[in-house]
């Protein structure tokens, strides 16, 4: 018989206890009577020898070991009854907590997926990737720092093998065009995320096949018997409905036929978080797949196979460091090999400054347990800011509820005093009050789980830079539910403990005497601290929201240097559909012709990189007579365009001329540069007519206005444009059409134009420039929208708390106010008396808020645009706003105080 069993049988046990004790008394009575006592005496003596039946029953109940459970059930019933009696309070409390806990859980889901969760591979802690440190690393994206050439990879791999470390290589995840052979040609082509990897990559990852086999080193040799591919579990399920016969089937990737040899383990999506891979292919297939992006090339020939070229860096190296080897120890071995390469290239550099700059670079093995991620670079800090924001909002809500509970407990202080004087334990009272708050918070926690799910999804959609949400797994997992439950319990204790401790301590005599008005004499000392805390926290939230809203505003009002309105663009890659340098020119003509024929088209153009298309072609140029500086001092960003590009984008030529049809292979090679480039390389001298070289020598024929081609946030780079008419072989990846009519129908028409030009080209998307502009500030919009909404919420909650607190204080001081009025205080005096309290609280709150906010803002500096982290105007505005709102909230009770009728106030009580 365990305690649970006893608890279930407690009614029966209770009856038996009663029967047993009655039997005892009856037997004793019978014995006494037979010894000669009267019936009445015998009964009295028998009972007296027991010393009272009830205490014995209590003692017998205690030994059952179910007392705590019975108490808990009582407390719970009592709490439920209290809730039913004050449904408005209960609903408000549960709703505000559910929003708070839900928002925290939702954002924690994203934090977990993006920043915490390790890759689903065995021993993820042993994984590492090779990156660079030193001045060249500053301000660059993590992923862009990790590129190495294939010969360098092979060298490092043989070096590291002696140090218990296996090394593999992978290219960034890229979109490729996939079709299944025999499914009606390339019409069934779709864009998938594909990744080129070395043969031993899967074994370094520790990933096993769930079907077929994965790659071996032999698959990655240029001499491999047949080209092969491995599918991810997700893609196998999505495209092939987990059909096992897919093994051995042929697929076409960018036109290259590949045999599917296996499916990787479930849940594994690759090393790059936020880029879930559909298909893996060996790096040896780079030429056949026309893979030509995301590479650093210094004097390499990108049109020749990349594998043997030392000059093209395109592979990220991932390592598994087997114990007892450590990452630090292996880094030392790796860096020695890396430094040999660096010294060789430094020796070939003429510029001594550049040489010194290069020599400060080192190779580092960084922790790869959580993979690599551009999404993490972009959103990691923003997500943490949002996490902090919702945590603060929850704290404000907690403080507010603690305050409300405090006021309610104050009204019940007589009840508590009576119970204490009747012998109830203090712990028992605390437990009862905590049960009430925990019931509220746990109900809220349950509701929050539903909110959290919707919240996480919404967040990923808001943060996305494309039409689909960010591909992070935020499905409701047990850790997430556990987080929500833990958080709701913590909240319940947090807002319940303070009132509970405070009122279980109340002075029995005073409380009973003063009729429940409490010894505090109309004041809630803890309450003031809570209100100040609420104001301080909501100030921090408001000031934070304001800097983010101003950042967004700065970005929205910036002049991008192009005119986004009425502009449609299509993005695609004809190389994937089998176009070669020889056939590219005719495609270009067909596309331009079709685009110009779109109804309402004013100008049309094609470009290789285009504007805000997430494409950066960076090269080193030489300007005769100019001694280059260090680092990226000679870098320019390049693009290839047709003459229609500048008018279509609305970029004005400020000096010189646009490209002409007459610029051809037979005339001088020309380039148009932007103002930033002209300023950087030629200063105040007019750049038109100057020359520079990058392989060939080019003459600058025009200077165009600066534009934010890399997104609104990025300052205009130094740009060099080349005409397609002199570079016919360069791929076309964007078409632009400026229309004077409806952009949506123009987008439809543009899609048709590409289909007419070649049905085999899979269009990545057709989109307006305005949409691209919007996406380039997705992060700022996300952060400012959410911090703004939560900031307003926090201020509203804090003011509600302030209002409740002052109202309560006025109600408790009615008597005192009555006396003051009776003694001749003016109405203004009384109002000031009350208002003074409000102002003091607000001033304290804001001062504390500023103290908290100033250091916190430094953490978000990287997320701001166009304002400093200690922008005094923003802080002042936040303080003024909060002051005004708070004083308005406090004015109501003050006015009511002045309406107190002295006669009635004195008679009451």
Partner 1 sequence: MATSDRSDLLQGTLDMLILKTLELAPLHGYAIAQRINRTSQALLQVPQGSLYPALHRLENKGFLAADWTETESGREAKVYRLTRKGRARLHAEIADWRRLSDAIALILQSSVA
Residues at the interface with partner 1 (CB under 8 A):
1, 6, 16-17, 19-21, 23-24, 26-28, 30, 49-52, 55-56, 58-60, 62-65, 67, 423, 425
- CB nearer to partner 1: pick between 24 and 553: 24
- CB nearer to partner 1: pick between 29 and 400: 29
- CB nearer to partner 1: pick between 64 and 571: 64
Please enumerate in sequence order all residues whose Cβ is within 8 A of that of 333, keeping only pairs 6 or more positions apart, or say none: 159, 160, 162, 163, 165
Computed over its alpha carbons, how large is the radius of gyration of the chain?
37
SS3 sequence, 730-770? CCCCEEEEEECCCHHHHHHHHHHHHHHHCCCCCEEEEEEHH
CB of 12 to partner 1, least distance (A): 11
CB of 552 to partner 1, least distance (A): 60
- CB nearer to partner 1: pick between 31 and 755: 31
- CB nearer to partner 1: pick between 35 and 862: 35
Separation of first and last alpha carbons in the chain = 56
| Helix intervals (H) in 758-826 | 769-776, 778-812, 814-822
CB of 421 to partner 1, least distance (A): 15
- CB nearer to partner 1: pick between 54 and 909: 54
Distance between CA 430 and CA 411 in Å, rounded?
16
Distance between CA 696 and CA 25 in Å, rounded?
117
Distance between CA 309 and CA 318 in Å, rounded?
20
CB of 21 to partner 1, least distance (A): 7
Helix axes 87-111, 778-812, angle to 10 degrees: 150
- CB nearer to partner 1: pick between 59 and 88: 59
Distance between CA 849 and CA 538 in Å, rounded?
8
- CB nearer to partner 1: pick between 62 and 559: 62
- CB nearer to partner 1: pick between 28 and 694: 28
Q: In whole angstroms, how far apart are CA 836 and each of 400, 654, 798, 843, 895?
A: 21, 62, 18, 10, 13
Please enumerate in sequence order all residues whose Cβ is within 8 A of that of 818, keeping only pairs 6 or more positions apart, or say none: 900, 901, 902, 903, 904, 905, 906
- CB nearer to partner 1: pick between 55 and 629: 55
Q: In whole angstroms, how far apart are CA 888 and each of 758, 829, 834, 850, 897?
A: 67, 18, 13, 21, 15
CB of 72 to partner 1, least distance (A): 15
Phi and psi at 410, nearest 5°, equal -60, -40
CB of 59 to partner 1, least distance (A): 4
Ramachandran category for residue 299: left, alpha or beta (phi over 0 → left; psi -120 to 50 → alpha): left
CB of 31 to partner 1, least distance (A): 8
Please enumerate in sequence order all residues whose Cβ is within 8 A of that of 707, keeping only pairs 6 or more positions apart, or say none: 560, 561, 562, 611, 649, 651, 674, 716, 719
Angle, vertex CA 638, rays to CA 633 and CA 642, nearest 5:
155
- CB nearer to partner 1: pick between 16 and 667: 16
CB of 534 to partner 1, least distance (A): 38
CB of 37 to partner 1, least distance (A): 17
The b/e string for 310-341 (b: 16+ C-beta within 10 A; e otherwise) is: bbbbbbbbbbbbeeebebeebbebbbebbeeb
CB of 24 to partner 1, least distance (A): 5
> Which of these, 123, 789, 868, lies nearest to 393 by C-alpha position?
789
> Which of these, 282, 188, 203, 187, lies nearest to 239 by C-alpha position?
188
Distance between CA 673 and CA 527 in Å, rounded?
65
- CB nearer to partner 1: pick between 64 and 117: 64
- CB nearer to partner 1: pick between 27 and 559: 27
- Find out whether 196 and 285 touch, Cβ atoms under 8 Å: yes
Q: Which single residue is written with the structure tokens 């019940």?
A: 412
- CB nearer to partner 1: pick between 58 and 696: 58
CB of 75 to partner 1, least distance (A): 15
Q: Which single residue is written with the structure tokens 């009384």?
A: 830
CB of 42 to partner 1, least distance (A): 14
Q: Which single residue is written with the structure tokens 């049988």?
A: 9
> Which of these, 111, 70, 186, lies nearest to 459 by C-alpha position?
111
CB of 202 to partner 1, least distance (A): 58
CB of 58 to partner 1, least distance (A): 5
- CB nearer to partner 1: pick between 17 and 887: 17
CB of 36 to partner 1, least distance (A): 18
């Amino acid at each position: 018989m365990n305690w649970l069993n006893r608890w279930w049988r407690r009614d029966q046990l209770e009856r038996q206890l009663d029967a047993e004790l009655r039997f005892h008394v009856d037997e004793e009575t019978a014995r006494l009577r037979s010894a000669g006592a009267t019936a009445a005496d015998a009964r009295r003596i028998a009972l007296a020898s027991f010393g009272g039946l009830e205490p014995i029953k209590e003692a017998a109940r205690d030994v059952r070991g179910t007392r705590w459970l019975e108490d808990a059930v009582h407390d719970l019933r009592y709490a439920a009854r209290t809730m039913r009696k004050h449904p408005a309070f209960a609903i408000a409390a549960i709703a505000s907590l559910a929003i708070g806990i839900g928002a925290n859980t939702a954002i924690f889901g994203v934090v977990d997926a993006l920043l915490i969760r390790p890759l689903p591979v065995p021993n993820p802690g042993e994984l590492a990737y090779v990156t660079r440190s030193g001045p060249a690393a500053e301000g660059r994206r993590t992923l862009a720092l990790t590129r190495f050439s294939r010969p360098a990879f092979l060298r490092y791999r043989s070096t590291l093998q002696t140090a218990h470390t296996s090394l593999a290589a992978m290219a960034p995840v890229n979109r490729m065009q996939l079709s299944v052979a025999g499914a009606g040609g390339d019409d069934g082509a779709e864009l998938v995320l594909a990744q080129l990897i070395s043969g031993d990559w899967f074994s370094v990852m520790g990933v096993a096949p769930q079907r077929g086999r994965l790659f071996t080193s032999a698959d990655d040799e240029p001499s491999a018997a047949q080209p092969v591919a491995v599918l991810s579990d997700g893609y196998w399920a999505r495209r092939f409905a987990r059909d096992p016969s897919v093994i051995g089937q042929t697929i076409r990737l960018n036109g290259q036929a590949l045999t599917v040899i296996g499916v990787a383990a479930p849940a594994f999506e690759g090393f790059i978080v936020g880029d879930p891979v559909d298909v893996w292919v060996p790096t040896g297939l780079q030429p056949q797949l026309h893979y030509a992006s995301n590479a650093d090339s210094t004097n390499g020939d990108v049109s020749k196979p990349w594998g043997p070229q030392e000059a093209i860096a395109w592979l990220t190296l991932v390592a598994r460091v087997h114990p007892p080897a450590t990452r630090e120890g292996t880094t030392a071995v790796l860096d020695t090999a890396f430094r040999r390469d660096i010294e060789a290239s430094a020796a070939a550099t003429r510029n001594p400054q550049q040489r010194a700059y290069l020599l400060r670079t080192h190779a580092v093995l960084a922790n790869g347990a959580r993979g690599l991620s551009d999404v993490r670079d972009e959103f990691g800090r923003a997500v943490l800011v949002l996490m902090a924001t919702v945590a603060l909002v929850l704290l404000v809500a907690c403080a507010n509820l603690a305050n409300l509970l405090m006021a309610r407990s104050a009204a019940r202080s007589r009840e508590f005093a009576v119970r204490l004087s009747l012998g109830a334990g203090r712990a028992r009272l605390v437990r009862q009050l905590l049960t009430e708050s925990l019931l509220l918070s746990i109900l809220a926690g349950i509701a929050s789980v539903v909110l959290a799910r919707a919240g996480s999804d919404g967040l990923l959609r808001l943060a996305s830079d494309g039409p689909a949400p960010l591909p992070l797994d935020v499905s409701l997992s047990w850790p997430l539910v556990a987080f929500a439950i833990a958080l709701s319990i913590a909240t319940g204790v947090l807002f319940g403990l303070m009132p509970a401790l405070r009122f279980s301590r109340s002075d029995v005599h005073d409380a009973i005497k003063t009729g429940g008005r409490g010894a505090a004499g109309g004041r809630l000392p803890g309450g003031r601290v809570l209100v100040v805390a609420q104001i301080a926290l909501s100030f921090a939230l408001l000031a934070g929201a304001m800097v983010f809203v101003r950042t967004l505003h700065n970005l929205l009002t910036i002049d991008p240097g192009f005119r986004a309105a009425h502009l449609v663009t299509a993005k695609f890659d004809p190389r994937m559909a089998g176009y070669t340098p020889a056939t590219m020119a005719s495609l270009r003509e067909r596309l331009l012709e079709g685009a110009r024929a779109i109804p309402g088209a004013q100008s049309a153009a094609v470009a290789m990189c285009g504007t805000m298309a997430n494409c950066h072609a960076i090269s080193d140029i030489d300007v005769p007579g100019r001694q280059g500086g260090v680092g990226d001092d000679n870098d320019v960003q390049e693009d290839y365009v047709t003459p229609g590009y500048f008018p279509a984008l609305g970029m004005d030529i400020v000096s010189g001329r646009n490209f002409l049809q007459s610029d051809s292979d037979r005339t001088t090679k020309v380039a148009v540069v932007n103002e930033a480039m002209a300023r950087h390389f030629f200063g105040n001298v007019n750049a038109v007519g100057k020359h520079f070289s990058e392989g060939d020598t080019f003459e600058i024929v025009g200077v165009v206005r600066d534009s934010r081609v890399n997104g609104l946030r990025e300052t205009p780079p130094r740009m060099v444009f080349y005409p397609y008419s002199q570079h016919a072989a360069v791929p076309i990846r964007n078409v632009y059409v400026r229309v004077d009519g409806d952009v949506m129908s123009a987008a439809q028409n543009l899609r048709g134009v590409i289909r007419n030009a070649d049905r085999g080209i899979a269009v990545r998307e057709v989109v307006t420039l305005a949409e691209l502009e919007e996406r380039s500030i997705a992060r700022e919009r996300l952060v400012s929208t959410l911090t703004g909404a939560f900031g307003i919420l926090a201020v509203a909650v804090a003011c509600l708390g302030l209002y409740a607190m002052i109202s309560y204080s006025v109600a408790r001081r009615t008597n005192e106010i009555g006396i003051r009025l009776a003694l001749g205080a003016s109405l203004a005096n009384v109002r000031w008396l009350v208002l003074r309290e409000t102002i003091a609280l607000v001033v304290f709150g804001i001062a504390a808020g500023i103290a908290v906010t100033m250091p916190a803002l430094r953490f978000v500096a990287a997320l701001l645009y166009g304002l400093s982290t200690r922008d005094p105007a923003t802080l002042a505005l936040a303080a003024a706003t909060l002051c005004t709102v708070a004083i308005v909230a406090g004015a109501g009770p003050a006015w009511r105080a002045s309406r107190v009728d002295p006669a009635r106030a004195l008679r009451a009580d």
